């Protein structure tokens, strides 16, 4: 095996080992819900309907069909196994490390500096977020296609120029590599649109190390020729920018100038860029959410601008003797442009994941500068290698330290709160994590802390209301939902939730109006029909209730909660006229498949349906599965499941009355 191939293999294997801890991590409630755990299209796996959705949906404020397909493939093969999903991210990252070393060694022919750059990219703690966060699959996946694009373009450029000078003609094999680069770039954009600046990176490669600029000096003719050569890539960039803007606007991810003024954005950009630079050298206090400061000090902004200007001036001053400095520095700055905050997406000032591709340019500039310095000072190879080993060991240790904070939602957001101030987003997500664990009182305290920081967010009132409802404090819960609706009156979910609280308070007519409004606002939303069915069952209007359940199941055939609820009512109703064992069984089987066969509530309902159809053997198996899962999750439903299991052992089905105990 040749030395470059051996180094490539060792880099990839070492990367897999460094990130092994993620195999025991769980999903987090920060975007993993949108991307996997609560996305019915993704959880279904690779079906025709879901593949069409991947190419047509603007879900989560993005259009990235390849990312959706990647998550669908994970669900197809691994189900809800979070560790497997995590490790797929690691595999993509390891592949990117191998591709980066291959690209740089082919471009420069200098093996050891390229190996150090690839190792820094592989093991720097700033990249933990891109690898250890399942929802950031788009980062590692898009970079995979970006690096393949650069490799294909490098082959094209070397064929048409012979390694230097301007091209005189384009031979057919070279043309094929160019169009392969275009295709790979398109695939990369379909994984994450942050790649829109990649054509500019190709221009930087033309300057150094490809040497396609005469005498290493940019002339207007060179710029025009090389830019025109790349017109298909720039066209894809323009199309992707338009599609991304529309997707993020529809997803309400883009903040308006009224919310985040232009001056604030212009101040944040240099400060964020400088913070990234500092984190490359001293990656302390890293976390998932960096809140936007209320304001920036004039000194901090001025100092940040001054630092960027000084580095830029130095790179320009040494552009002839050290061309890698200008190339690497412009790579870093240029690829940051889409995420530097000029177009404000989300509520964070910066994010570690945004350095995944920009860091490559920075590492190129620094490592080649240090290699030149070592050569000028005639530093012995042993000392240079030892210093590199110390730095890389430090990166590995820092990465291992940072990985521990991504093991679950509570740990992730407690870390963010420990190293930042006034972090309302971290508070909200910590509250959600506690809520999911059933720690309602603790979650309520956290939500109220968040509300003090950001009182105008409807999500906070929604989360306060959810917890109050679960605590049985329905009047307080309704008050919170009404406040959320004041802030967001056209939200179908909020109207449905408010209706549920009104129903719990016995306000039947008002609840029905809320459900009706939710149905009007979102005709494809099934839950209001389920809630209407519950009301109708309470009133003894069972045929109408069954019809509403059928409508809900038809509207959302991929929602296992709705299917399981419908199956429950059809299997267990004490009113024989409203029972339909076969339909209940079909719905419960479908719900069980959709849920990955790990939901105790679904197994419980499937047991009811089996018992209703006379299959008491399978009813017992389902009840035992439900009991096992519910016990492991420490759910309060274990006693009821145990009662049902005893009935099935006696060949008796489960029956419930769904009528109100007294007139509402």
Instruction: Note whether residue 499 is domain-resident.
Output: no
Closest CA to 468 of 498, 493, 428, 492: 498
pLDDT, tens digit (0-9, with 9 covering 90-100), for 419-474: 999 999 999 999 999 998 889 999 999 999 998 887 778 888 998 899 999 899 99
CA 566 to chain centre: 31
The reported pTM is 0.86
pLDDT grade for 260, boundaries at 50, 70 and 90: confident
Question: Any idea which residue has 């994941």 for tokens?
Answer: 353
CA distances from 468 to 176, 276, 397, 441, 475 (A): 62, 41, 43, 9, 9
User: In this structure, is residue 413 part of a structural domain?
Assistant: no
Whole-number pLDDT of residue 663? 45
Q: Look at residue 393 in the predicted model and tell me its pLDDT.
A: 98
Report the pLDDT value the prediction gives residue 253, as an integer from 0 to 100: 63
Any alpha helices (H) in 217-261, and if so which ranges?
220-229, 231-250
Q: Where are the alpha helices (DSSP H) in 437-491?
A: 440-453, 458-470, 474-487
Among the listed ranges 4-18, 38-52, 348-362, 390-404, which one has the minimum average pLDDT value?
38-52
**Tokens describing residue 296:** 């920036």
Extract the tokens encoding 282: 């001293």
What's the pLDDT at 227? 94
Q: What are phi and psi of 68, to 5 degrees?
A: -60, -45
Strands 290-291 and 348-350, by their bridges, are antiparallel
Residue 626 sits in a domain of what CATH number?
1.25.40.10
pLDDT at 163: 43
User: Does residue 415 form part of some domain?
Assistant: no
Q: For residue 656, what are the contacts with CB-CB under 8 A and spacing of at least 6?
A: 572, 573, 574
| 651: helix, strand or coil | coil
Of 347, 374, 406, the position where a domain reaches its end is: 406
> What are the φ/ψ torsions at residue 553 (nearest 5 degrees)?
-65, -35
Q: Which residue has the higher pLDDT, 493 or 453?
A: 493
**DSSP character string of 249-260:** HHTT-BPPTTTS
Alpha-carbon gap, residue 524 to 398, rounded angstroms: 47
Please report, to the nearest 10 degrees, the dihedral formed by the alpha carbons of residues 453, 431, 559, 66 taken in order: 70
Structural domain includes residue 439:
no
* Better-predicted residue by pLDDT, 455 or 314: 314
- pLDDT per position as a tens digit, 578-629: 999 999 999 999 999 888 788 899 999 999 999 999 999 999 999 999 999 8
For tokens 């940051």, name the residue.
336
Average pLDDT in the 372-400 region?
96
Indicate whether 480 belongs to any domain: no
Q: Outline where 1-136 has alpha helix (H).
A: 3-18, 32, 40-43, 48-56, 65-78, 82-108, 111-123, 128-132
Domain-located, residue 523: no
pLDDT at residue 264, rounded to an integer: 87
Q: Domain count of the chain?
A: 2
Is the pLDDT reported for residue 167 higher than 60?
no
The CA distances from residue 383 to 111, 337, 387, 535, 657, in Å, are 17, 37, 6, 77, 80
* Domain end point (choices 406, 437, 457): 406
Residues in contact with 359: Cβ distance below 8 Å, sequence separation at least 6, in sequence order? 120, 121, 124, 126, 127, 280, 332
Q: How far apart are CA 547 and CA 549, in angstroms?
A: 5
pLDDT digits (tens, 9 = 90+) for 61-108: 899 999 999 999 999 999 889 999 999 999 999 999 999 999 999 999
Q: Which residues constitute the domain of residue 578?
A: 560-664
* Residue 165 binned pLDDT confidence (cut-offs 50, 70, 90): very low
Q: What is the pLDDT of residue 166?
A: 46
Report d(CA 212, CA 204) in Å as an integer: 10
CA atoms within 13 A on the CB side of 320: 4
DSSP one-letter code for 635: -
Q: What is the pLDDT of residue 251?
A: 65
Residue found under tokens 């979070």: 82
Give the Cα separation of 134 and 89 in Å (integer). Answer: 7
- Is position 328 within any domain? yes
Res 164: pLDDT: 43
- Supply the DSSP symbol for 232: H
**How many whole angstroms separate alpha carbon 357 and alpha carbon 364?**
12
- The first and second tokens of residue 653, run together, are 């089905």
**pLDDT higher than threshold 70 for residue 50:** yes
CA distance 305 to 271: 8
Beta carbons of 84 and 78 less than 8 angstroms apart: yes
What are the pLDDT digits (tens) for 474-489? 999 999 999 999 999 9
Q: Is residue 183 part of a domain?
A: yes
Which of residues 388, 406, 424 is at a domain's end? 406
Alpha-carbon distance 576 to 573, whole Å?
Answer: 7
User: What average pLDDT does the segment 374-389 reach?
Assistant: 95
């Amino acid at each position: 095996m040749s030395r470059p191939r051996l180094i490539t293999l060792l880099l990839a294997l070492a990367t897999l080992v460094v990130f092994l801890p993620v195999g025991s991590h769980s999903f987090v409630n920060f975007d993993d819900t949108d991307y996997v755990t609560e996305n019915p299209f993704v959880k279904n796996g690779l079906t025709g309907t879901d593949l069409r959705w991947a190419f047509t949906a603007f879900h989560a404020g993005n259009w990235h069909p390849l990312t959706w397909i990647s998550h669908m493939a994970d669900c197809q093969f691994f189900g809800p196994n979070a560790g497997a999903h995590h490790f797929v991210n690691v595999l993509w990252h390891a592949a990117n490390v191998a591709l980066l070393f291959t690209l740089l060694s082919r471009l420069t022919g200098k093996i050891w500096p390229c190996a150090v750059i690839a190792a820094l990219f592989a093991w720097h703690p700033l990249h933990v977020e891109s690898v250890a966060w399942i929802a950031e699959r788009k980062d590692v996946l898009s970079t995979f296609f970006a690096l393949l694009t650069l490799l294909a373009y490098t082959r094209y450029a070397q064929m048409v120029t012979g390694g230097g000078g301007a091209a005189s003609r384009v031979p057919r094999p070279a043309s094929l590599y160019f169009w392969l680069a275009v295709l790979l770039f398109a695939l990369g954009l379909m994984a994450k649109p942050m790649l829109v600046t990649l054509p500019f990176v190709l221009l930087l490669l033309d300057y150094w190390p490809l040497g396609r600029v005469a005498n290493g000096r940019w002339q207007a003719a060179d710029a025009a020729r090389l830019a025109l050569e790349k017109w298909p890539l720039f066209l894809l960039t323009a199309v992707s920018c338009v599609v991304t803007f529309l997707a993020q606007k529809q997803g309400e991810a883009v903040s308006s100038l009224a919310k985040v003024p232009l001056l604030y954005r212009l101040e944040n950009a240099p400060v964020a860029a400088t913070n990234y630079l500092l984190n490359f050298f001293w990656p302390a206090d890293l976390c998932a959410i960096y809140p936007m400061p209320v304001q920036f000090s004039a000194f901090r902004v001025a100092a940040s601008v001054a630092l960027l200007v000084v580095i830029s001036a130095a790179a320009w001053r040494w552009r002839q003797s050290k061309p890698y400095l200008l190339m690497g520095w412009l790579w870093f700055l240029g690829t940051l442009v889409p995420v530097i905050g000029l177009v404000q997406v989300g509520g964070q000032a910066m994010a570690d994941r945004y350095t995944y591709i920009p860091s490559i340019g920075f590492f190129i500039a620094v490592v080649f500068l240090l290699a030149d310095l070592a050569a000028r000072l005639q530093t012995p190879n042993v000392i240079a290698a030892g210093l590199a080993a110390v730095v890389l060991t430090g990166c590995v240790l820092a990465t291992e330290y940072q990985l521990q904070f991504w093991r679950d939602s509570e740990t992730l957001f407690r870390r963010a709160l420990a190293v930042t101030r006034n972090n309302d987003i971290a508070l909200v997500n910590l509250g959600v994590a506690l809520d999911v664990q059933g720690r309602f009182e603790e979650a309520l305290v956290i939500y109220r802390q968040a509300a003090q920081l950001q009182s105008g967010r409807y999500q906070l009132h929604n989360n306060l209301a959810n917890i109050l409802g679960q605590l049985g404090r329905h009047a307080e819960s309704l008050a919170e939902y009404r406040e959320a609706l004041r802030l967001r009156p056209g939200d179908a979910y909020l109207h449905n939730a408010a209706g549920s609280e009104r129903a719990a308070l016995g306000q039947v007519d008002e609840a029905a109006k809320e459900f009706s409004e939710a149905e009007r606002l979102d005709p494809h939303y099934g839950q209001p029909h389920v809630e209407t069915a519950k009301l109708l069952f309470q009133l003894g209007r069972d045929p109408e209730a069954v019809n509403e359940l059928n409508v809900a199941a038809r509207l959302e055939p991929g929602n296992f909660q709705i299917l399981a609820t419908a199956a429950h009512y059809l299997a267990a109703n004490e009113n024989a006229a409203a029972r339909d064992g076969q339909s209940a069984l079909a719905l419960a089987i479908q719900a069980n498949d959709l849920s990955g066969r790990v939901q105790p509530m679904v197994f419980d309902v499937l047991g009811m349906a089996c018992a209703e159809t006379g299959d008491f053997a399978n009813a017992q198996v389902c009840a035992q599965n439900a009991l096992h899962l519910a016990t492991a999750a420490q759910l309060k439903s274990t006693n009821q499941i145990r009662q049902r299991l005893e009935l099935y052992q006696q060949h008796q089905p489960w029956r419930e009355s769904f009528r109100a105990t007294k007139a509402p």
